[in-house]
Structure 1
Amino acid sequence: MRRMVHRQLWKKAGWRVAMVTALLALAAGCNGKQDKNLGAGAERADQHALFDRDSRNNEDNSLGVKSKYVEEQARTVKPDNPGAFQQLDMTNHHLSKTFRFAPEISNHLDQLPGVSEAQVLITNTNAYVALVMDGHQVDTEAHPDMMAHQITPKGGIGLFGTDKGANRINWSEPGGLTYSLSSRITGQVLNMTQPAVQKVFVSANPNFVQRIRFYAKEAQNGVDVSAYMNEFNTMIQRVFPSDHNTRR
């Protein structure tokens, strides 16, 4: 009889341990998913190389330039139903061939409580929002390289063509963005853009914000920012890794 009582007690204790373990795992999984939704990026630096479309990740011909997306698309078959949603390639929602700044939307988002600054980029089918949250100093929080390594139509190594290694850049810092604000901004941006824009990605990662700032500065100085297209595509894949599959 005593053995049976002990056995039942151990069985109950085992079930409790299993339940606690499962709840902890679920909580950890939810937090990870939330961070990715907020544009927190790849957590492990050693995974960054998996998100590059090509190992020749720069624009300098002397270093082995990547194939331009426009050239790649010229060799692909166009869909017969142009009115349908056109995924930019079969595995990657982020691969874009154009982008433009949308100050009319940025100025609206600047007024939201908790938002210190906003930059909005519109691509073929997506909108990307870079936010500075109140209390954050992106100039000091971001890596210094975010405001360096220029690319022009004549060449330039960009962020990912240096010999410093890609792991130096932290794309996983959420920057104080909350899930509720991210969802609110997503809805507002969708309401303010053309129907072709079907997805909105929001991040307050300091490095992402600072590089978008750099693009804006280049555009203001008359630089053709289309030269940054390959770099932009690679950066986006790292900041929003849960919505693409480019492992080649």
Structure 2
Amino acid sequence: MKTKALLATALTTLMLSACGVNNNDNAKNNVNDTALNNRDVTNPTRVNNPLTNDDDYINNNGRTGNGLTPVGNNDGNQPSKMRVADRAVDKIVALPEVDRASVVVTDDNAYVAARLVDNNKGLSSDVERKIADQVKAADKSINDVYVSVNPDFYDRMTNYANDIRNGKPIEGLYDEFTNTVQRVFPTHYNK
């Protein structure tokens, strides 16, 4: 009889103490945390992100210093940011040799896909230098510029740029982008 009474008292005490726990975090009352609703998304794209502007679209919330690495590191990590460089595009298409262009930037690397006015001539080193100079003039944070006039690469880069502008999560996009860039610029990865 004593054990039943002791057990009943212990269970009652346990239940009453559990009722006293305050699970409300007053700092987060009435806040909809998108990250909690997007499971398995490292850095979800936020609605009305103040870091997005009309000139350069930054995905992954433009966060830096989070241990992520740029394209070209084969350790499986993702870049701290991946963005479209529209200012660089404007400068590139102002060149008389260039008809259209698309530029995606990861950290200090710019990947340029261009369509030349005379598509049959190919990319001369002079035009490549002019394009690289325009990209670096548009964005002082760019150290390396990789240029291709391959039509398939241009189509892919245009699609990547549109996906970034539309807020598509970088997680899956990044892997595809990295594979594409490694195929187009293999010497960059074999240094």
Q: TM-score range by the shorter chain?
A: 0.5 to 0.7
* Distance in 2, Cα, partners of 1:232 & 1:89: 9
Report the 3-state secondary structure (helix = DSSP H, G, I; strand = E; otherwise coil) of the residue aligned with 1:243.
Answer: helix
Matched to 1:110, the amino acid is V
* SS across alignment from 1:119: strand
The percentage of aligned residue pairs carrying the same residue is 31
Q: How does 1:47-62 map to 2 (within 5 A)?
A: none
Give 1:90 shift: 9.2
Name which of 232, 237, 241 aligns with 2:186.
Answer: 241
Within-5 A mapping of 1:34-183: 88=70, 97=79, 98-136=81-119, 176-183=122-129
Q: 1:125–1:199: 8 Å Cα contact kept in structure 2?
A: yes
Match of 1:190 in 2: 136
Per-residue CA deviations over 1:28-68 (Å, capped at 9, x if unaligned) read xxxxxxxxxxxxxxxxxxxxxxxxxxxxxxxxxxxxxxxxx
Contact 1:117/1:132 (8 A) holds in 2: yes
Q: Could you tell me which residue of structure 2 aligns to residue 3 of structure 1?
A: none
Maintained 8 Å contact 1:116/1:131: yes
The verdict on how the C-alpha distance between 1:175 and 1:242 changes in structure 2, with shifts beyond 3 A counting, is farther
Q: Note closer, same or farther for the CA distance 1:91–1:128 as it changes in structure 2 (3 Å cut).
A: closer
For 1:134 and 1:187, locate their aligned partners in 2 and report how far apart those are by CA, in whole Å: 19
**1:91 deviation in Å?**
6.5
Higher strand share: 2
Decide whether the 8 Å contact of 2:110 with 2:145 is kept in 1.
yes
- For residues 187 and 135 of structure 2, what CA distance do their matches in structure 1 show? 20
- Alignment partner of 1:113: what SS? coil
Contact 1:175 1:206 in 2 (8 A): no
Q: Which runs of 4+ in 1 moved over 3 A?
A: 87-92, 219-222
Which has the higher mean CA deviation after the structures are superposed, 113-122 or 213-222? 213-222
Give the TM-score of the pair, scaled to structure 2. 0.55
- By how many angstroms is 1:110 displaced? 0.7
Extract unaligned runs of 5+ from structure 2: 1-42, 44-64
Cα distance between partner residues in 2 of 1:223 and 1:105: 22
Alignment partners' CA distance in 2, 1:220 and 1:90? 23
Change (3 A) 1:123 1:240: same
Following superposition, the deviation at residue 134 of structure 1 comes to 1.4
The amino acid of 1:231's aligned partner reads E
How many pairs does the alignment contain? 125
One-letter amino acid matched to 1:180 = D
Q: Which of 165, 168, 173 is the equivalent residue of 1:223?
A: 168
Deviation at 1:192, TM superposition (A): 2.3
Give structure 1 stretches of 5+ with no counterpart.
1-69, 71-81, 137-173
Change (3 A) 1:222 1:89: closer
Q: Residue 242 of structure 1 aligns to a residue in which SS?
A: helix
Q: Which residue of 2 aligns with 1:161?
A: none
